Amino acid sequence: MGLLDSVLGAVLNNGQQQQQPQGGGLGGIIGMLASNPQLIQAVTGMLGNNSQLGGLGGLVEKFQQAGLGDVVGSWIGSGQNQPISADQLSSVLGSDALSGLAAKLGVDPSEAAGQLAQVLPGLVDHLTPAGQAPQEGLGDSGDLMGALSGMLQKL
């Protein structure tokens, strides 16, 4: 857990040193993660290749099956990110996955969906800076923690 601790430390220290803007930018994502460090672990666990969803590729497939492929595509692409509501995200992930996420966060499923809906578009966008999903995925959750640590150090 050393890497997780260092990333969370960087998030929390950054949050204490400067005011974080509200909204979907990287600062808003960091502010959300700083206020709920369990969220970063849950999201990296979901986006990692070793997740039950199958990483980013599996998430994209779930969005496509739910008729929301254009939404997740906007997060990966180079244009503006389309928003997603907590209800839409609930229908994409399904009640089992959302209940599991909520249990990890210590909140009810609707609140978990709301938090994830605020963080996921910008995070996926920043993890796919070339405007497309890597064929090999984003790596396992440890790789994602490293990528997030690198993003935090650039701030």
List, in order of start, the domains of the chain with CATH numbers.
Answer: 2-153 (1.10.10.690)
Q: Where are the beta strands (DSSP E) in 26-155?
A: none
Measured at the CA of 110, the angle between CA 103 and CA 122, to 5 degrees, comes to 90
CA atoms within 13 A on the CB side of 82: 14
Query: Per residue of the chain (155 residues), what is the pLDDT tens digit?
Result: 444 444 444 444 433 333 333 344 556 665 666 566 678 778 888 888 888 888 899 999 999 999 999 999 999 998 899 999 999 999 999 989 889 889 988 899 999 999 899 889 988 888 888 888 877 888 787 777 776 666 655 55
Cα-Cα-Cα-Cα dihedral sign, residues 70, 44, 58, 94: negative
Task: Give the pLDDT of residue 5.
Answer: 45
The CA dihedral of 22, 43, 104, 71, to the nearest 10 degrees, is 70
Give the burial class of 145: count Cβ atoms within 10 A of its Cβ; 0-12 exposed, 13-18 middle, 19 or more buried.
buried
